A and B are shown apart, each in its own frame.
Chain A
């Protein structure tokens, strides 16, 4: 069974700090996605990474896909209160099926 484990589970930081969240698996994924879910809303796609070693930047967010395509990380520079939310990674598990990670709940304090 494919699993995606995220760490840390919870993170509370001050505005302006940097942080990294991780998404790890013992299985190889052809690609991974990161979603952000704000309170009271459904998840929204942030990025898809498809190549081992790939790095993608989205403003202050940097996403990396591990060389072996078993792990991914999300780094946020100078976090802002608007970054608060639940961050989820997701990978494909066969046709049409997705495996979601356990999530990292981030709170950025002003």
Chain B
């Protein structure tokens, strides 16, 4: 069965802390994505990676960085957490098929609260 796991379901951090969100997929997918989900705004792409050590900025990369040292793992880093980064963070993976739209498999999400 396809599986994307995220390291935490809930996190509470303080302003200025460095925050690591981990995502692991067991499907040998090339592509991995980090989104944030806010009410009324849908899912917004933060970063994505199409190969190990490769990364591309999405629509809202400011304040975030990512790391992909192994194919199965994609980490999102908040260098200095701020209250406006309180959100639901979703990780996804997909396999390259050459189609415009591939099936994305999502993790259950991490709800982050920054105080």
**CB-CB contacts below 8 Å: A77-107 with B:** 88, 90-92, 96-98, 100-103
Whether B101 lies near A91 (C-beta < 8 A) is yes
Q: State the CA gap A81–B108 with chains docked (Å).
A: 21
CA A100 to CA B50, docked complex, whole Å: 19
A32 to chain B: closest residue by CB: B101
Tell me which of B40, B42, B103, B108 contacts A100 (CB under 8 A): B42
Of A12-20, A37-45, A52-60, the segment with at least 4 beta carbons within 8 Å of chain B is A37-45
Interface residues of B in 58-115 (CB under 8 A from A): 58, 90, 92, 99-101, 103-104, 106-109
* Bound-state Cα–Cα, A31 to B97, Å: 14
Size band of the A side of the interface?
A: 20 to 34
| Least distance between A80 CB and chain B CB atoms (Å) | 23
A26 interface residue, CB < 8 Å from B?
no
Contacts A42-B109, A92-B101, A102-B40 given: A97-B4 contact, CB under 8 Å? no
Number of residues on chain B facing chain A (CB within 8 A): 25
**Contact: B103 with A31, CB < 8 Å?**
no
Q: Which residues of A contact B45 (CB under 8 A)?
A: 97-98
CB contacts (< 8 Å) of B48 on chain A: these are: 96-97
Judge whether B56 is part of the interface by a CB distance below 8 angstroms: yes
Asked whether B11 is an interface residue with its Cβ less than 8 Å from the other chain, the reply is no
Does residue A64 face the partner (Cβ distance < 8 Å to B)?
no
Q: Please tell me which one of the listed residues B44, B101, B108 contacts residue A42 in the complex, with CB atoms under 8 A apart.
A: B108
Q: In the assembled complex, which residues on chain A have CB atoms less than 8 Å from the CB atom of B33? A: 98
Q: Does A48 reach chain B (CB closer than 8 Å)?
A: yes
Contact A42 B100 (CB under 8 A): no
Partner of B100, one of A30, A102, A103: A30
Nearest chain A CB to B6 CB, angstrom units: 9
